[in-house]
Structure 1
Amino acid sequence: MDELKKTIKNLIISMRPRQWIKNLFLFAAIIFVKQFSDIEKLAAVFEAFIIFCFASSAIYLLNDAVDAPYDRRHPQKRLRPIAAGELPVFGAVFAAAVFGALSVFWSFYINNFFALAVIGFLALNVLYSFYLKRFVIIDVITIALGFVIRVIAGAVAIDVRFSEWLILSTFFLTLFLAISKRKNELMHAEETEAREGLGRYSLALLDQMNAIVLPSTIITYAFYTFSSEHSKLLMITIPIVLYGLFRYLFLINIKTRSDDGPTDDLLLDKHLLATVFIWLAVSVAMILYAG
């Protein structure tokens, strides 16, 4: 019984529930099309969120199983249950298959387009785990596309039209976060054995990439606020977004090692967490005021 409890505990840890915060991107559409007061649609997005939690956990389990040989040589990642041998690789892969299949079958109960989004998310991330993460630039673009799929999935789950500018700003924002995470990994690469692909980056290249992506994030978000059919008052949130982006840049350049990247930064940095809550509160207030 104790062994079973230990296995379940290690399985839950490997599912990385703290990373489920990324699936909150599914709520973007229902908030910005002013449908959050519709209980039926809100329930549908919550259901979609749970489905994506299973799907993303399937990917985390698979990715940790694939990366176990590298993680065992990493000072922090070697403590992960799969790398430490506390959760068998076969068991992790089997659980990943079960969670992946569950998320796909469940998604069809929402609608077929949402199911396609879930299948696309899983397929993209399986490719990333086995192949795409080896390639410079393609790896960070793949990560950003995963978030774009989340936003689109949240929209199709409740059958609402999503703004092209919202999709673009999501892509550039998450691309910025992915590039910044790579920079942090490279800054601390001497502490561990760099995984395949990371060594091909340089700090100068990553800084140049962010010099393009960061302005693109701001511009596309600004265009979204100007073109919003619900409230152009959303442009008031632009300075809040600017502060959040600059705060994250500051953290990346001064912080110590963080394996979980943006998720840890958001949850552990009070300034960044407060910025997100203020941005969300002001955005909702402006949308309601315009209505």
Structure 2
Amino acid sequence: MADRTAVLDRKEAPAAPRLPRTGPGALPLGLLRTARPRQWVKNVLVVAAPAAAGELFSRHALAQVGLVFCLFTAAAAAVYLINDARDAEADRAHPTKCRRPVAAGQVPVPLAYAAGGLLAVLAPAAAAVLCTPLTAALLAAYVVMQLAYCVSLKHVLVVDLAVVTTGFLMRAMIGGVALGIPLSRWFLITTGFGALFMVSAKRYSEAVQMTEAARAAGQTERLGATRALLTSYTTGYLRFVWQLAAGVAVLAYCLWAMESGAAAGTGLLPWRQLSMVAFILAILRYAVFADRGTAGEPEDVVLRDRALALIGLVWLAMYGCAVADW
């Protein structure tokens, strides 16, 4: 009987935490992981404005957009490094964030601060030298806003959603700013509310999943330790936000497509108007995951769901035909 009790105790014992990697390449690898390579796909948004304007495929435009992509990636990496250094203690209480290199001890907190601070200064400075002054100003504003978010704004109700959304909007704007392309009001509204849709859907999903996990474990107090505002938002409110944002994004895109389609030349088919169908289907498909509480990182949702990826490719093809006036 005693042996059986000992076996049961061993089965119920929690798994030992994963130890940080050691070795000569552990520190550079940890810094790279902290810079979130998987998140770099978000910076592809810098091509949005030049692509929408049909000015992406000249040698100068490609070089400039590629440079802006690298600079924005460096700026975002700076924010991730500083954020992880500040949140190291809270991340250790999170079921998945505890494996981040800084929280796990693979990257020392002072080194994360130093690397993040260096990139935060170098990225806007390089933009001032290699790009336009307005591009450097926009990149500097992004760094300042995101650092303010890390320090305090992420604890302010509603403002935290606005800051994350604005970060996506800045990504979409900076490519056009670097090339001197005028930004359509419909482009800004569609991009802004589309970003708010994905941000609020992700936050809603995170709130649902963490609430269920905390309740199942009988540890509701840990919910506030991992992300404080999850205890302030209700799932009903976050659902309202992503539904509102989805509706505004669809309306703005339709107005944009109708307005720009009427002013465009006569192609084989009205591609801009037809692209509305693919755009609406993509929003509706993404909303399925948001409603289920499984809309995590946007890139993961798109890559995991083949139907959504296919709809996205169809939309890209239609919009490409519209820009080419085929």
**TM-score of the superposed pair, with normalisation by structure 2:** 0.84
When residues 3 and 257 of structure 1 are mapped into structure 2, their CA distance, relative to the original with a 3 A threshold, is farther
Question: How big is the shift at 1:103?
Answer: 0.7
How many percent identity over aligned positions? Answer: 26
Aligned ranges 1:41-120 → 2 under 5 Å? 41-108=61-128, 109-120=130-141
Provide the rounded CA distance (Å) in 2 between the counterparts of 1:139 and 1:41.
Answer: 33
**Aligned twin of 2:321:** 285
> Do the aligned residues in 2 keep the contact of 1:57 with 1:99 (CA within 8 Å)?
yes
When residues 139 and 70 of structure 1 are mapped into structure 2, their CA distance, relative to the original with a 3 A threshold, is same
**Aligned twin of 1:121:** 142
Question: How big is the shift at 1:212?
Answer: 1.8
Counterpart residue type for residue 263 of structure 1? E
Question: How big is the shift at 1:76?
Answer: 0.8
Q: Stretches of 4+ moved more than 6 A in 1?
A: none
Provide the rounded CA distance (Å) in 1 between the counterparts of 2:292 and 2:244.
Answer: 21
Aligned length: 287
Provide the rounded CA distance (Å) in 2 between the counterparts of 1:253 and 1:166.
Answer: 26
Provide the rounded CA distance (Å) in 2 between the counterparts of 1:98 and 1:138.
Answer: 27
> Do the aligned residues in 2 keep the contact of 1:33 with 1:230 (CA within 8 Å)?
no
Structure 1 stretches of 5 or more lacking a match?
Answer: none
Question: How big is the shift at 1:171?
Answer: 0.5
Deviations 1:12-60 (A, max 9, x none): 1110111011111110111111112211112101110110010111111
**TM-score of the superposed pair, with normalisation by structure 1:** 0.93
The yes-or-no answer on 1:9 pairing with 2:45 is no
Provide the rounded CA distance (Å) in 2 between the counterparts of 1:98 and 1:230.
Answer: 46
Instruction: Work out which of the residue numbers 133, 154, 168 in structure 1 matches 2:154.
Output: 133
**Aligned twin of 2:179:** 158
**Aligned twin of 1:247:** 285
Provide the rounded CA distance (Å) in 1 between the counterparts of 2:264 and 2:160.
Answer: 35
> Do the aligned residues in 2 keep the contact of 1:136 with 1:198 (CA within 8 Å)?
no
> Do the aligned residues in 2 keep the contact of 1:30 with 1:42 (CA within 8 Å)?
no
Deviations 1:109-138 (A, max 9, x none): 111000011001101101111111112211
Question: How big is the shift at 1:263?
Answer: 2.4
- Local SS of the residue matching 1:276: helix
When residues 257 and 143 of structure 1 are mapped into structure 2, their CA distance, relative to the original with a 3 A threshold, is closer
- Local SS of the residue matching 1:35: coil
> Do the aligned residues in 2 keep the contact of 1:128 with 1:142 (CA within 8 Å)?
yes
Provide the rounded CA distance (Å) in 1 between the counterparts of 2:62 and 2:41.
Answer: 17
Provide the rounded CA distance (Å) in 2 between the counterparts of 1:115 and 1:82.
Answer: 29
Max radius of gyration: which structure? 2
Structure 2 stretches of 5 or more lacking a match?
Answer: 1-21, 215-221
When residues 214 and 3 of structure 1 are mapped into structure 2, their CA distance, relative to the original with a 3 A threshold, is same
**Aligned twin of 1:211:** 243
